[in-house]
Chain A
Amino acid sequence: MTELESLLRRYAQGDITEEELQRLDTLSHRDEVLAGAAVRARTLRRQRATRMTVAASLAVVVALVAVIALRSGAPAGAADSVLEASMTTPPAVTTTMETMAVPAEVQQPARPAVRPAAAREVAEAVPLPERRAPEPAAEALQESPVPVQVREEVPVTVHGTEGYPVVACNSECSPDSVINDIWRFLRV
């Protein structure tokens, strides 16, 4: 079993970690079938990048506030040197950002191997329920000038004998054609 197969199997069973999902995204980026999963993986990465950006911005703001406070309270020479160090040496700012305590709401929470939401995401990845047609469209469909005809009784035409598949249709159909249709879908 290839890595892709293994990942796809775990993906289909909902037993996949975030890293594996990203790996699957990488391996199957051309596959439109997994577009939902790919989009979600990209969204997660984007969210993380956004959080990091927010954290960095907060760190810079806090650093500037600290510098301003130092300038207002400390001797002028010392304040200038701090300000100069902060603005002219980006690594120092970076270090500050990394060591600074990030507010709880910005921190990325530690995730279990499979989050409840992740399992749900996998279940919903393809197709996305959120991508259903919006309600106005549904109303428009209902108001279609061509009304949907519904039979009063459920028609059943049953084919088959004991030991063989039983085929039921709501219209004229050939059991062989139905079974061939399924095989065509599975094997093409």
Chain B
Amino acid sequence: MKKYMLFIGVLFWASVAGAQSDLYNRYASRTDIRVASVTGFVLDSAGTTADVTLLEAVDDAGWDWLCQEFGLIALNDEQRRQLAQGWEVSMFAQRDRKDPSKPAPVVDERIDVANSCYVGVSYLSRTLYIFCCTTEHQSDVVIDYLIKKMRSSMKH
């Protein structure tokens, strides 16, 4: 029985370990970036899920590298002042699903949603949140969150 349970455990570990995204594998070897990948992150009570990858800079070098890799927009003086006061400064963009450091692909004059992902950036925590969706509904849910976040920041 123990061997059977051990076998099941090894099978499960192998299945989840092998399922790590290319995105995770691309950055996981870096020591200046903390990478966390969440498969099946539940977005709402309806059970809508998305795969999320976090890239958090461990130090200044890691943050500089992330800014360069993803072409993050430079903050203006006002934003820097807000950041220094502990305010969250964030942004989001639609990017290529296979390589979020590149712009989202465009097909027939429209963004190819199926092959794009959403990248949210928290300058305060120096973290990138990459939401990969496979359906339009998933994209809608993520966009709703990001729009609410944007509206919330505009009220301040």
A172 to chain B, nearest CB (A): 9
Count of chain A to chain B residue pairs whose CB atoms are closer than 8 Å in the complex: 191
A127/B68 contact (C-beta < 8 A), A166-B40, A168-B36 known = no
User: CB-defined interface of B51-88 with A at 8 Å, one 1/0 digit per residue?
Assistant: 01010000001001101101111101011000000001
User: CB-defined interface of A107-130 with B at 8 Å, one 1/0 digit per residue?
Assistant: 000001011101110111111110
Tally of B interface residues using CB under 8 Å: 70
A114/B145 contact (C-beta < 8 A), A31-B153, A127-B73 known = no
User: CB-defined interface of A155-188 with B at 8 Å, one 1/0 digit per residue?
Assistant: 1101010101111111101010011011001111
Q: Are B38 and A178 in contact (CB under 8 A)?
A: yes
Q: Cα distance A120–B70 when bound, in Å?
A: 17
Q: Are A119 and B106 in contact (CB under 8 A)?
A: yes
Q: Are B106 and A14 in contact (CB under 8 A)?
A: yes
User: Which residues of A come within 8 Å of B, CB atoms?
Assistant: 4-5, 8-9, 12-15, 28, 30-33, 35-36, 112, 114-116, 118-120, 122-129, 131-133, 137-138, 141, 144, 146, 148-156, 158, 160, 162, 164-171, 173, 175, 178-179, 181-182, 185-188
A165/B104 contact (C-beta < 8 A), A131-B74, A151-B29 known = no
13 contacts between A and B (CB under 8 A): A8-B147, A119-B106, A123-B104, A132-B68, A148-B30, A149-B32, A155-B29, A169-B35, A178-B54, A182-B129, A185-B90, A188-B88, A188-B152
Chain A residues near B48 (CB-CB < 8 A): none
Q: Are A186 and B73 in contact (CB under 8 A)?
A: no
Q: Cα distance A141–B32 when bound, in Å?
A: 14
A11 to chain B, nearest CB (A): 10
Q: Cα distance A127–B73 when bound, in Å?
A: 5
9 interchain residue pairs of minimum CB distance: A14-B111, A127-B73, A132-B71, A170-B28, A149-B31, A166-B39, A123-B104, A170-B35, A154-B28
Q: Are B111 and A165 in contact (CB under 8 A)?
A: no
Q: Are A133 and B67 in contact (CB under 8 A)?
A: yes
Chain B residues near A4 (CB-CB < 8 A): 151
Q: Are B61 and A148 in contact (CB under 8 A)?
A: yes
Chain A residues near B17 (CB-CB < 8 A): 156, 158, 168
Q: Cα distance A126–B107 when bound, in Å?
A: 19
Q: Cα distance A187–B148 when bound, in Å?
A: 8
Q: Are B147 and A5 in contact (CB under 8 A)?
A: yes
Name the contact of A178 in the complex, choosing from B29, B36, B111, B152 (C-beta under 8 A): B36
Name the contact of B154 in the complex, choosing from A15, A30, A36 (C-beta under 8 A): A30
Q: Cα distance A178–B38 when bound, in Å?
A: 8
Q: Are A127 and B16 in contact (CB under 8 A)?
A: no
- Best-buried of A32, A124, A152 by chain B (most CB within 10 Å): A32
Q: Cα distance A149–B29 when bound, in Å?
A: 9
